[in-house]
Amino acid sequence: MAVANPLNTPIPSEPNFKPRSLRAHRLLLLPVSLAVMLLVWQSAIWINGFPAFILPPPARVWQRMIIALSDGTLLRHTAITLSESLGGLAVGLAVAAALGYLLARSRTVERLLAPYIVASQSVPVVAIAPLLIIWFGSGLTSKVLICALIVFFPVLINVIVGVRSVEPDLRDLMRTLRANRWQLFFHLELPAAMPMLLGGLKIGATLSVIGAVVGEFVGPNNGLGSLITAARNQFDTALVFVAVIALIAIAMGMYGTVALLEKILLAWKD
């Protein structure tokens, strides 16, 4: 809330100075925390005397990353995992959004399907992943399906909560204005559900990467999961770390993209 300046005097410069200083401090937070993490990592090696095959030092991981980047290994596998994650996220989002809307709008459909949907969540994806590989082959389809299965539930729940969060009064108002079903959906339900939908999408974006890796562990053709498997098999622990860092980068990138999307799509709220 804005505070009036009763004396109509110039606002002292301190408040202007403070935010700039805070901004500078905040900009420093990430590099400082990163440096602390690297120091803790290196110290663990110095103190415990871990050999490189148990815990490789940061410098060794960096060197291995340069090699994996220069020979194309890292980019090739990263691109595959990224495409599986995005594909799974898209499929999971589409199915969860459609089904979530139906469940939110119809108690009958909810009573019919909810027990099965909840029960399906108690099945570990890693247990059914080999079956998906058998049924759909070890290519992109099975990996996308595994990602979609993991993404599905959090997005579904958020869509249901979002659609149900619409104020009944607003719905009544739209009806009195003779809004048809599509107008109700596009002008009321969709904007109202959007914050929750995007919240679910943020969770789904990170889970989708996990789904891709689960699929690649079970049917390791390509991708960062198979790179980890191969590197572990060759006792190249530094390469395992490189692949894990790439996975973190993908997850952070996808999360950041959704956060940006959220900022753009929900700008009207501010």
State which of residues 233, 264, 269, 270 lies at the interface with other proteins (CB under 8 A): 233
Q: Are 246 and 224 in contact (CB under 8 A)?
A: yes
Contact 128, 185 (CB under 8 A): no
Sequence-separated (6 or more) residues with CB below 8 Å from residue 240: 228, 231, 232
> Residue 82 contacts by C-beta under 8 Å, 6 or more apart in sequence?
250
Name the token pair of 254.
Answer: 């996808």
Verify binding: residue 42, other proteins, rule CB under 8 A: no
Over its C-alpha atoms, the chain yields an Rg (Å, rounded) of 24
- Cβ-based nearer residue to other proteins, 133 or 155: 133
18, 36, 43, 130: which one binds other proteins (CB under 8 A)? 130
Asked if 230 touches other proteins (CB under 8 A), the answer is yes
Q: Which one of 17-25, 58-66, 227-235, 262-270 is the stretch in contact with other proteins (CB under 8 A)?
A: 227-235
d(CA 143, CA 174): 43
81 forms part of the interface with other proteins (CB under 8 A): no
Q: How far is the CB of 222 from other proteins (least distance, A)?
A: 8
User: Closest separation between CB of residue 229 and other proteins, Å?
Assistant: 6
Residue that has been written with the tokens 């339900």 in this structure: 189
The correct pick among 34, 118, 235, 256 for binding other proteins (CB under 8 A) is 235
SS3 56: coil
**What residues make contact with other proteins under the rule CB under 8 A?**
50-54, 130, 133-134, 137-138, 217-221, 226, 229-230, 232-237
